[in-house]
């Protein structure tokens, strides 16, 4: 089996150790943008709409609900702190795609893909407008995205507008690993994830939403009644925005699995280091491997570098202990220095991991329960920074019983296949991950397992 550029040109062990020494096991984004403490829910309450989950999905639902009807009484319940989970642990790539890329969407809904692309771009434009309307301090930058080929076989995957040769790609971002690239200037914005969660919560409260933190929901009862450890809310409607955590609806218990993604954040780059790399356009970058890396600059010129390892831990649980995986951080440090050898000697200030709510179609799904009084939005599979706003609008449409261009979509009306229960899920997911890694080492050639998954609509290449 062949090697990849990251194995042909690995970083020195001493450089990896230097980078990780003293790094803090904590997401940079929430460390950099802490939000105010909010009260726990206690006692008995009533609300027109109760939202479960204080990440992007729940926060967008709260803001959009109040924009639709300022008189609506809205309560949001968060089990820990607003934005602490996936919403504070991602790369801050706010993309237009609702389908995890056009290819994935086109393979599933070919008759709708143009409409889905249009709705996705409109959604991104509306996020930008919201940021401006409420003067949200989120480090918003519509910088675009650069996909880079780092192996010869990946060059044939570059097609359409914006294709660049190696010289033109390296003129944008100077890495010796780049053999070519494709620039998409308008369909991706970069944000500070922690600030986005903090600002969405601020806007929601400004509009009149009541937010309770450290109030994990223990039951969803008929009524509907949403119960926590210390109180309950009798609701008119309920929106479930629980991401990767155990669903309050049994029908969704096998619809997602937690896949852990790992990331590093460096100290701010010096002017000399930035001059070596270029990157004046500050685009978000991702390579084109099955196991891909994503990376970007922050407003204060730190380098975020994440991805590649996507780890499913047997049992399908979310555990704090899964965040400290030394092997993944050492691999990322080595791959960062392979990508940018100019940065040898740089240190990481933060390292962290987050659980991605992965679905079998690799993008979100929706539905209702309890006679239409409960709606849910799940399965964003790492593409939720922008798509959660669209998903929030879908939930509100469904709860209102409205026929809209969103609810008429087959993508919205259809549910993905569930994952099998353990231990079959663990065997299948890890066999697929092994196969994707093998394909990266065999010039992209997919084995029998991957070809079979492709044939039944369960395949994906990243």
How far is CA 437 from each of CA 203, 246, 306, 343, 447, rounded to the nearest angstrom?
A: 43, 29, 17, 27, 11
Mean local confidence (pLDDT), 99-117: 95
Q: Which of the four pLDDT bands, split at 50, 70 and 90, describes residue 429?
A: confident
Q: Are 137 and 195 in contact (CB under 8 A)?
A: yes
Q: Where do the domains of the chain lie, and which CATH numbers do they carry?
A: 5-27+145-184+257-358 (3.30.9.10), 33-132+191-256+361-413 (3.50.50.60)
> How many CA atoms, within 13 angstroms, populate the side-chain half-sphere of residue 299?
18
Q: Is the pLDDT of residue 462 over 70?
A: no
Distance between CA atoms of residues 53 and 243, nearest Å: 8
Mean local confidence (pLDDT), 306-311: 92
Q: Please give the pLDDT value at position 453.
A: 63
The chain-wide mean pLDDT, for the chain, equals: 94
Q: Is the pLDDT of residue 98 over 60?
A: yes
Looking at per-residue confidence, does 449 or 122 come out higher? 122
The least confident of 25-29, 105-109, 357-361, 419-423 is 419-423
Mean local confidence (pLDDT), 413-418: 95
- What phi and psi, each to the nearest 5 degrees, are found at residue 383? -125, 45
State percent of the chain over pLDDT 90: 86
Q: Please give the pLDDT value at position 316.
A: 85
pLDDT tens digits, one per residue of 235-283: 999 999 999 998 999 999 999 999 999 999 999 999 999 999 999 999 9
Q: Please give the pLDDT value at position 438.
A: 74
Q: Please give the pLDDT value at position 442.
A: 74
How far is CA 22 from each of CA 186, 324, 351, 353, rounded to the nearest angstrom?
A: 37, 14, 10, 17
Q: Is the pLDDT of residue 461 over 50?
A: no
Q: Is the pLDDT of residue 381 over 90?
A: yes
pLDDT tens digits, one per residue of 313-344: 888 889 999 999 999 999 999 999 999 999 99
pTM of the predicted protein model:
0.95
Mean local confidence (pLDDT), 134-155: 97
- What phi and psi, each to the nearest 5 degrees, are found at residue 8? -70, -30
pLDDT tens digits, one per residue of 181-229: 999 999 999 999 999 999 999 999 999 999 999 999 999 999 999 999 9
Q: Please give the pLDDT value at position 48.
A: 98
Q: Is the pLDDT of residue 439 over 70?
A: no
List, in sequence order, every residue forming a beta bridge with 211; answer none if it has no partner: 76
Mean local confidence (pLDDT), 11-38: 97
Q: Which of the four pLDDT bands, split at 50, 70 and 90, describes residue 128?
A: very high
Nearest to 238 by CA among 249, 227, 224, 217: 224
Mean local confidence (pLDDT), 283-294: 94
């Amino acid at each position: 089996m062949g090697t990849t550029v990251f194995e042909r040109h690995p970083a020195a062990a001493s450089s990896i150790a230097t980078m990780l020494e003293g790094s803090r096991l904590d997401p940079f984004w929430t460390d950099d943008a802490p939000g105010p403490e909010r009260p726990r829910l206690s006692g008995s309450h009533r609300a027109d709409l109760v939202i479960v989950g204080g990440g992007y999905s729940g926060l967008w639902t709260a803001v959009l609900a109040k924009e639709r009807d300022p008189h609506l009484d809205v309560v949001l319940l968060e089990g820990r702190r607003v934005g602490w989970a996936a919403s504070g642990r991602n790369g801050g790539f706010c993309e237009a795609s609702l389908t995890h890329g056009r290819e994935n969407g086109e393979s599933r809904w070919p008759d709708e893909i143009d409409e889905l692309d249009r709705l996705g771009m409109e959604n991104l434009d509306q996020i930008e407008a919201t940021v401006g309307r409420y003067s949200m301090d989120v480090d918003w930058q519509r910088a675009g995205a650069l996909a880079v080929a780092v192996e010869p076989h990946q060059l044939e995957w570059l097609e359409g507008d914006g294709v660049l040769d190696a010289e033109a790609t390296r003129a944008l971002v100077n890495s010796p690993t780049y053999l070519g690239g494709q620039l998409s200037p308008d369909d991706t914005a970069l944000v500070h994830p922690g600030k986005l969660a903090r600002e969405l919560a601020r806007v929601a409260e400004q509009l009149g939403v009541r937010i309770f933190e450290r109030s994990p929901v223990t039951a969803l009862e008929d009524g509907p009644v949403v119960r926590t450890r210390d109180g309950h809310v009798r609701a008119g409607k309920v929106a479930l925005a629980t991401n990767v955590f155990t669903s309050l609806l049994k029908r969704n218990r096998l619809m997602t699995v937690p896949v852990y993604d790992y990331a590093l954040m460096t100290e701010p780059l010096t002017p000399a280091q930035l001059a070596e790399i270029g990157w004046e356009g500050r685009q978000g970058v991702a390579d084109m491997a099955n196991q891909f890396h994503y990376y970007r600059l922050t407003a204060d010129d730190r380098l975020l570098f994440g991805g590649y390892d996507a780890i499913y831990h047997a049992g399908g649980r979310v555990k704090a202990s899964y965040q400290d995986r030394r092997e993944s951080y050492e691999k990322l440090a080595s791959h960062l220095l392979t990508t940018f050898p100019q940065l040898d000697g740089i240190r990481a200030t933060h390292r962290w991991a987050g659980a991605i709510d992965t679905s079998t179609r690799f993008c979100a799904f929706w539905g209702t329960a309890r006679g239409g009084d409960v709606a849910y939005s799940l399965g964003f599979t790492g593409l939720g920074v922008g798509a959660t706003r669209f998903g929030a609008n879908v939930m509100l449409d469904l709860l209102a019983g409205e026929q809209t261009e969103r609810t008429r979509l087959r993508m919205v009306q259809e549910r993905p296949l569930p994952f099998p229960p353990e231990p079959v899920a663990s065997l299948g997911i890890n066999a697929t991950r092994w196969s994707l890694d093998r394909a990266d080492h065999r010039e992209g050639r997919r084995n029998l397992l991957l070809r079979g998954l492709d044939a039944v609509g369960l395949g994906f290449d990243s």
